[in-house]
Amino acid sequence: MLVRFVIDNIYSFGRRTEFNTLPGNLRTLPAHAYAQECGFKLLKLSVLYGANAAGKSNLINALAMFAEMALNNLTADEVTRNKFKLERSEDSDEQLMAVEFIQNDVCFLYATKVINGRIAVEELYLTGKKEDTLVYERTTDQNLVSRIKFSTEFESNEKNMLLKEILLDEFVESDRPILHLLANRDNEQLGMVKTAYIWFAKTLAVLFPESKPATFEQRLETDKGFGNFVQEVVKSYHVGISEVSTANTQLDIFFGKTAEGKKIAGELRNAMEKNPTKILRFEKPTNSSERFLVVQEDDEIWIKVLELKHHTYSDKGVQFSLTEESDGTVKLLNLLPAIYDVIYNKHVYIIDEIERSIHPSLIKELIRKFSHDEKSMGQLIFTTHESVLLDQSIFRQDEIWFAEKDSGGCTDLYPLSKYKEHKTIDIRKGYLEGRYGAIPFLANLRDLKWHDNDPSQ
């Protein structure tokens, strides 16, 4: 579960800014406040509104970048390249990212401070109690010399101190975090590090408008609960589909005997030999909607392709491929793994522009269904421009956030709850009228004189 995310001097966040899922003193939708073993509550839903270029997507981008760095897929140079480029009140090269989260009922704070491509500070603490407890703190000075401080319990063991020396001498790099490095050590006293790492690797998922589920076809076949969920949703929302299934074809048969087909099959076979998961996602370069899953089962490699059955007047049914469906139908299918996971698991999904290509009524009912489900377990956090979702029967006021830039181009984030609106007020109307800010300023656009630029005059 996500508690809070703090950023400074990254993208459009020119000063320290916090987004959190902590509930305020509201009595509406009490089931939205999940009770945690750590002793506090967290909200199940959050939506972020704002004008174009206000910084909504920058929040998602920053969290995605932080997660990729924690997983050792990015270096600190990437963070430095995305430094706030406008004037700051503080003349500093320091860039901060910190996230507080819960994994396996344990509350963690993980933070990094980057200075010009160097991870100057990296720290992991256990939080949620009266005092934070150190798991480790790593520092790297201007001479690129790193130091690590572990808990007193860890450092009282001679073998652990030897491990620490080896790590510093041979493995620690100035531009990479050590969370991944420590999580993969076979050391019982680093168990909390492994738990924290799992949150980034498996619990947190960040989705962008172009994101696609990695293993949808395989999951449809092997996860009965997910398969039933998909069938139920596509039928309920009347998008013309009566059944979603997977067609399986042997690799060589699928690509045929042409020279090009044999070449692609050979490349996929080689890639599969190097892939420990034995699952690959393949998309045709000429059409990203034409995608399929390559899966090795026993000694055979199979191509799994989604098929979508449509009823005819005679009720016989005709199979369509994903490329023959509308963008909205494809986007809905892409969202279903996320919706399923936040209903049945303690997963955290952060989704940018959730409404892209989907009809407003459909996305509203999908969010409403999750909102009213009192048995759900995960968190759904997303950005949108769709004002039809601004409904107090779906969201608490502390679940609605706004992004707005000041005169210096710096993004500020704030919740609707700061306005202390009555629970019966039409917040959609208030938002469109500009009562809460975070909407485009249109006055100058109305004054535009189109024909002053007519080249024929």
- Domain range annotation of the chain: 1-209+352-457, 216-328
Q: Determine the average pLDDT of the residues in 79-108.
A: 93
Model confidence band, residue 442 (pLDDT cutoffs 50, 70, 90)? low
Strands (E), 188-227: 204-207
Q: Which two tokens stand for residue 134?
A: 């150190």
Q: Quick check: 190 and 159 in contact, CB under 8 A? A: no
Question: What DSSP state is assigned to residue 369?
Answer: H
Alpha carbon distance 138, 159 (integer Å): 19
Q: Determine the average pLDDT of the residues in 310-320.
A: 84
Alpha carbon distance 353, 386 (integer Å): 9
Model confidence band, residue 316 (pLDDT cutoffs 50, 70, 90)? confident
More confidently predicted of 315 and 407: 407
In the prediction, which pLDDT does 179 show? Answer: 98
On the CB side of 64, how many CA atoms lie within 13 Å of its CA? 17
Q: Is 218 helix (H, G, I), strand (E, B) or coil?
A: helix
Q: Which of 109-118, 285-294, 415-424 has the lowest mean pLDDT?
A: 285-294
In the prediction, which pLDDT does 65 show? Answer: 98
Residue 66 has pLDDT above 90, yes or no: yes
Residue 451 has pLDDT above 90, yes or no: no
Model confidence band, residue 443 (pLDDT cutoffs 50, 70, 90)? low
Provide the 10 A C-beta neighbour count for residue 379: 22
Q: Quick check: 23 and 398 in contact, CB under 8 A? A: yes
> In degrees to the nearest 10, what's the CA dihedral of 436, 439, 443, 447?
-170
Q: Determine the average pLDDT of the residues in 329-345.
A: 94
In the prediction, which pLDDT does 390 show? Answer: 94
Model confidence band, residue 306 (pLDDT cutoffs 50, 70, 90)? very high
Reply yes or no on domain 1-209+352-457 having CATH 3.30.1360.
no
In the prediction, which pLDDT does 176 show? Answer: 97
Share of the chain above pLDDT 70, in %: 95
Query: What are residue 216's phi and psi, to 5 degrees?
Result: -55, -50
Q: What share of the chain is helix, strand, coil (3-state, %, to 5)?
A: 35, 30, 35
Query: Which of 173, 171, 319, 299 has the alpha carbon at shortest distance from 240?
Result: 319
Alpha carbon distance 53, 68 (integer Å): 23
Alpha carbon distance 353, 60 (integer Å): 10
Model confidence band, residue 92 (pLDDT cutoffs 50, 70, 90)? confident
Query: Which of 97, 382, 338, 46 has the alpha carbon at shortest distance from 214?
Result: 338
Q: Is 451 helix (H, G, I), strand (E, B) or coil?
A: helix
In the prediction, which pLDDT does 414 show? Answer: 96
Model confidence band, residue 447 (pLDDT cutoffs 50, 70, 90)? low
In the prediction, which pLDDT does 183 show? Answer: 96
The CA-to-CA distance between both ends of the chain, in Å, stands at 61
Q: What does the pLDDT look like over 147-192, one tens digit per residue?
A: 999 999 999 999 999 999 999 999 999 999 999 999 999 999 999 9
More confidently predicted of 326 and 286: 326
Model confidence band, residue 40 (pLDDT cutoffs 50, 70, 90)? confident
The two most distant CA atoms of the chain are separated, in Å, by 85
In the prediction, which pLDDT does 39 show? Answer: 84
